[in-house]
Each structure stands twice: as structure tokens, then as C-alpha cells.
Amino acid sequence: MKRMHDYIIVGSGASGSVLAHYLTQAGADVLMLEAGKRFTAATFPQNEMDANAQLMWNGGMDMSRDAATLFIRGKVLGGGTIINQCLLDRFDDVALDDWRTAAGIDFFRNRDMERHYDAVESNLSLHYMEKADWNRNAELYVEGFEKLGLEWAPLRRGQSDCGKGNDCIVCLGGCPRKSKQSMLETFLPKAEKNGLKILSEFEVAEVVHGQQFVTLQGRHQGHPHSLYGRQVILAAGALGTTQLLLKAGVQKRLPALGRNFHCHPQWMTVGFFDEPVDSHKGAFQSVKSTDPRFRDWGFKLENVFAGPIAMSLLKPGYGFEHQRFMQRYRNMACIEVAVRDQAAGTLALSNKGRLVIDKPLSDGDRQRANRGNQIVHDIFSTLGAREIMTSPIQIALHLMGGCSIGTRASDSVVNEQFQVHGLPRLRIADSSIFPNAPGINPSLSIMALSHRAAETLLAEAGIAPSTSTTRKQEQQA
């Protein structure tokens, strides 16, 4: 195998795959390394337990140091996009203005970002959920919102054709219908067609930045192996990328490394109804809150549910009580509060090199959560729920920050060129560069930033963004 590559991308999620696409389209030599396995629509695990074990880091059980928050992140070719819900939203002015202020970077405004959103969206099949898609859980959500006079809207989701009779909750373990617009169905196949080489089951352990190239040392299917890239793009997600930089020992020079970690913590509330709700059937998520007051108050209400294993984790305790809880699985309706967390957490390494996540909630964040949970209680009460339970466990799916973008090495990790300050051959455009929590689904913006990063890299290399064919032919000649 070739040892030296022009670009090596670590991680195949929203960021890595988009970069791979645009770089290979321009004819660049790109290798992608992914710790997880490669699955296809046909081979995804068949049940929730196997999905957790085979598609997620630590079986989907990464915990914060105080064990109050559960972090879920994908470890599979396609990264988080394989196990996520694929709701694809652009950032609003609120989010971008906050970023511009925090990072001091001028392109964080809609005028500049629009081009990147357009570009990545042109590769995605986007669908606004219709009334016909609603399951009972969604109907209850809308009924409640209307009764309380709250604003809602249909969700925009990346899906091509989910067909009929699907129980969409399954696709959180990998969409078997080739419909969900994960990287595996969108950017990755295009990139592979353009010559992207992928090594799955390659876990990078260390990144060593040198004068002429970067060495990546890790294990491929359990065996130690080193690879070399002129430019290395870390796209291992907020936790993965930050961990690799922490291991590289650059924290002294980059004091912001590991700071500014956010995660949109979520609290699920279950309302028990006498009639079956069957939230697990049909389209799993169809509507969202668009009430402007919620944006001010710093939370969203999500129309969600979860598989039986996840639901059982929400209920503390054992025995009969718990059994009774689970027996009523079909009668559960569910709404979740997702908080735009203000207090930043920190990522650090333990003496043994394990990632330690500190994510305490500030009083402000707790107030945001309480206010949201109160509204959910009001909704379920109005709807006549027999019993309402808010889970004490916080779940975090949107892992962001740790390597914030900015202009100075004193308070950020990467610059506008997506270059790690002082380590010019290392690039990052994934969720780790978020300077704060946007309060909006992150993945589309990760893709848009990665598009911009690809443009930056190609411009530096003097390659025109997508005159792919001519360059490819030259290379082959």
C-alpha cells in the first residue's frame, strides 16, 4: 500500500466525507481512515443492541465524569450520519451572529455561508415531512402545541424514498432502505468513484506533525500501522478530534484545546396515554418547534422517541416498577427538550490517556431545561396523559467544540483556513471547531464548513475546485 498521501482524512462522518468528496472531485490523492466498520444498507445490525455495540463508540455508553450525561457518537463508516436522524437545518442569524462574535471570523454570516449550504444541499435529497407522514406521537405533539398556542413546523429531513410501511426508528441503527441521506448514500460513493481510498477499522492513536508531512500511527484491524500525509484532516468528531490533539501534547501552546465543549443536552419526557400511541411505528420524527420564544429561552422541543433499550435506560430503578414502565411502551408519547447549552464543558485526558468529559450544567442551563420540561408537562397534561415522567438522565447527541475556530492561538485552536494554529499541516472542519452551541441541528453546517475547508485546501494547492476530469486524465497519463 502507498504510504504517503496528499491528504489523509481521519473520520468519515459529516465532515470527513464531504471533504473527501470535494477533494477527490478535484483530482486530489486522498485516503480516509475510519475506526468503525463498513456496513451497507443490507448488512446493518438487525436490532438496537447490536446497533449500539457495532455502530457506536463504547457501545453508545460514553458518560460524563459526573455520570449525569450520556454521550452518543457513531463509530462506523459514515460516522454520526449513519445513526443520526438526518434533520438538516441551516443556521439562523442568531447562531451565526453569536459565532462571529465568539470567533471573530467574518464568514459566519448568511451571505457567506449560503454558497456552502447550497453546494452541499445539491448533493442531498431533502424532504419536508408531510401530514401524511405523521404517526400518533407527532399528532399528539401538534395537538398539544395548538392547544397551548405554540408555533410548530414540519421537519426537513434528508431522505430519498422511505417507501411504505417503514418503522423509521430502525434507521437510527443504519437505514436499511438506502433512503436516509447518510454519508454512505451521498458523499462517500461519489468520492470513492473519484478515487478515494478508505481504510475502515483503522483507529488512529497518534498524530505527529512534522516539517514535511504528518505521521498517523494507529491500529488497522488490531495491528499497529503508520501512514503519512502531506496534509491531514482531522474529522473524528468533537470527541475524537480533540482527543487526538490532546494526545499530540499541543495543549501548552493551545490553551483553548479541550475547552468550549457543548452538547445540546436533552431531557426526554414520556407521557402515558390510555390508548396505544405506538411512537415507534411509522415516521419517527415529523414536526419541530419553531416558537420564537423558545429560541429566546434557549431550547427546542423535539418530537422524538427511542428504541426499547434506550427507553428502559430513562427509567431509574429495577424490578416490578421498571417492568410496569416497559410494559406500557406502546402507550408512551414522548417529547424532548434540547437545550442550547451556554456553559462550556471541557475535554481532557486521564493519566491513562482516556478521554474525560466534564460537562456540568450551569444554573442558566438548568433553568432553560426546567422551563422546557414544564412546557412539555403542560402539553401532556392538556392532552390528558395519565402519567408524566421526565427522565433524570441527560442525553447528548450533538457533540461540539473542543477545537474552536478563531483568530488567535491564545483562545482558539484552528484559524480561518481550518488550520491548527502553529501546525500548518493539520486541518479541522468537523464539529469540534464550533465556538459555541448553535441550538440548531449541527450536521448540515458541519458539511457546509467542510465544503469551505475543501475549497481552502484546493486553493492552497493551486487546484481548481472541480475541473476534475482534466486533472484525473493528466494523472493517469
Partner 1 sequence: MSTSTRKSKTAPDDFVAMLETSEADTKQIFADAAKAAERLRKTTLATRLEAVKKLVDHITRNKEEIIDVITRETRKSRSDALISELLGVLDNCEWLLHNAKKILADKKVSTPITLLGKKSRIYHEPLGTVLVIAPWNYPFHIGLTSILAAYVCGNAVVFKPSEITPMQGLFEKLFNVDPLLEQSVFIAYGTGVTAQRLIDQHPAKIFFTGSARTGKKILAQAADKLIPVDLELGGKDQAIIFDDVNIQRAAKGVLWGALTNAGQSCSSVERIYVQDGIYDQFVQTLQTEIRKLVVNAGDTGNADMGGMTVDFQLDIVRKQVDDARAKGARILTGGDLLCDNELFYMPTLLTHVDDSMLVMQQETFGPLLPVLRFSSEDEVIQLSNATEFGLSASVWSKDAARAERVARQLECGAVSINNVMLTEGNPGLPFGGTKASGYGRQKGAEGLLGYTRSKSVLIDGDSAKIEPNWYPYTQQKYNLFSQLIDALFTASPWRLLKAALIGMKLEAEAKKER
Ligand X SMILES: Cc1cc2nc3c(=O)[nH]c(=O)nc-3n(C[C@H](O)[C@H](O)[C@H](O)COP(=O)(O)OP(=O)(O)OC[C@H]3O[C@@H](n4cnc5c(N)ncnc54)[C@H](O)[C@@H]3O)c2cc1C
Per CB under 6 A, does 171 bind ligand X? no
- Of 208, 343, 349, 356, the one binding partner 1 (CB under 8 A) is 208
Cα–Cα distance measured from residue 358 to residue 345, given in angstroms and rounded to the nearest whole number: 5
Cα–Cα distance measured from residue 304 to residue 306, given in angstroms and rounded to the nearest whole number: 7
Cα–Cα distance measured from residue 359 to residue 412, given in angstroms and rounded to the nearest whole number: 19
Sketch the per residue contact string, 89 through 118, with partner 1: x for CB under 8 A, - otherwise.
------------------------------
# residues near partner 1 by CB under 8 A? 20
Cα–Cα distance measured from residue 304 to residue 104, given in angstroms and rounded to the nearest whole number: 35
Q: Scanning residues 402 to 461, which ones bind ligand X (CB under 6 A)?
A: 430-431, 441-444, 446
Nearer to ligand X, 380 or 434 (CB): 434
Task: Report the nearest approach of ligand X to the CB of residue 93 (Å).
Answer: 18
The residue with its CB nearest to ligand X is 13
Sequence length of the chain is 477
Cα–Cα distance measured from residue 174 to residue 85, given in angstroms and rounded to the nearest whole number: 10
Task: Report the nearest approach of partner 1 to the CB of residue 249 (Å).
Answer: 6
Nearer to partner 1, 211 or 350 (CB): 211
Task: Report the nearest approach of partner 1 to the CB of residue 232 (Å).
Answer: 12
Using the contact rule CB under 6 A, the part of the chain among 14-22, 141-149, 322-330, 337-345 near ligand X is 14-22
Cα–Cα distance measured from residue 265 to residue 289, given in angstroms and rounded to the nearest whole number: 16
Q: Which entry of partner 1, ligand X, none binds 203, CB below 5 to 8 A by partner kind?
A: ligand X
Q: Which entry of ligand X, partner 1, none binds 224, CB below 5 to 8 A by partner kind?
A: partner 1
Cα–Cα distance measured from residue 260 to residue 401, given in angstroms and rounded to the nearest whole number: 5
Q: Which entry of partner 1, ligand X, none binds 63, CB below 5 to 8 A by partner kind?
A: none
Per CB under 8 A, does 4 bind partner 1? yes
Residues with Cβ < 8 Å from 180, sequence gap 6 or more?
86, 158, 159, 162, 171
Q: Which entry of partner 1, ligand X, none binds 248, CB below 5 to 8 A by partner kind?
A: partner 1
The stretches of 84-214 forming alpha helices (DSSP H) are 93-103, 110-121, 136-148, 187-193
Find where cell 473542543 sits.
402
Per CB under 8 A, does 226 bind partner 1? yes
Cα–Cα distance measured from residue 436 to residue 133, given in angstroms and rounded to the nearest whole number: 33
Task: Report the nearest approach of ligand X to the CB of residue 121 (Å).
Answer: 13
Cα–Cα distance measured from residue 20 to residue 477, given in angstroms and rounded to the nearest whole number: 23
Residue 422 per-residue DSSP state: T
Task: Report the nearest approach of ligand X to the CB of residue 270 (Å).
Answer: 18
Cα–Cα distance measured from residue 1 to residue 15, given in angstroms and rounded to the nearest whole number: 25
Q: Are 11 and 429 in contact (CB under 8 A)?
A: no
# residues near ligand X by CB under 6 A? 41
Per CB under 8 A, does 225 bind partner 1? yes
Per CB under 8 A, does 350 bind partner 1? no
Q: Are 11 and 241 in contact (CB under 8 A)?
A: yes
Q: Identify how many contiguous H helices and E strands the chain contains and give both numbers.
A: 14, 21
- Of 397, 428, 448, 454, the one binding ligand X (CB under 6 A) is 397
DSSP result, 141-163: HHHHHHHHT--EEE-EEEBS---
- Of 20, 22, 48, 73, the one binding ligand X (CB under 6 A) is 73
Task: Report the nearest approach of partner 1 to the CB of residue 215 (Å).
Answer: 5
Per CB under 8 A, does 316 bind partner 1? no
Using the contact rule CB under 6 A, the part of the chain among 67-75, 125-133, 163-171, 254-262 near ligand X is 67-75
Find where cell 486522498 sits.
30
Nearer to partner 1, 213 or 261 (CB): 213
The stretches of 237-355 forming alpha helices (DSSP H) are 237-247, 292-297, 308-314, 319-327
Q: Scanning residues 236 to 255, which ones bind partner 1 (CB under 8 A)?
A: 248-250
Q: Are 93 and 111 in contact (CB under 8 A)?
A: no
- Of 144, 173, 174, 240, the one binding ligand X (CB under 6 A) is 240
Cα–Cα distance measured from residue 238 to residue 400, given in angstroms and rounded to the nearest whole number: 5
Per CB under 8 A, does 206 bind partner 1? yes
Bridge partners, 202 (sequence order): 220
* Site of interaction with ligand X (CB under 6 A): 10-16, 33-36, 72-76, 79-81, 83-87, 172, 203-204, 235-237, 240, 244, 397-398, 430-431, 441-444, 446
* Site of interaction with partner 1 (CB under 8 A): 3-4, 206, 208-215, 217, 223-226, 228, 248-250
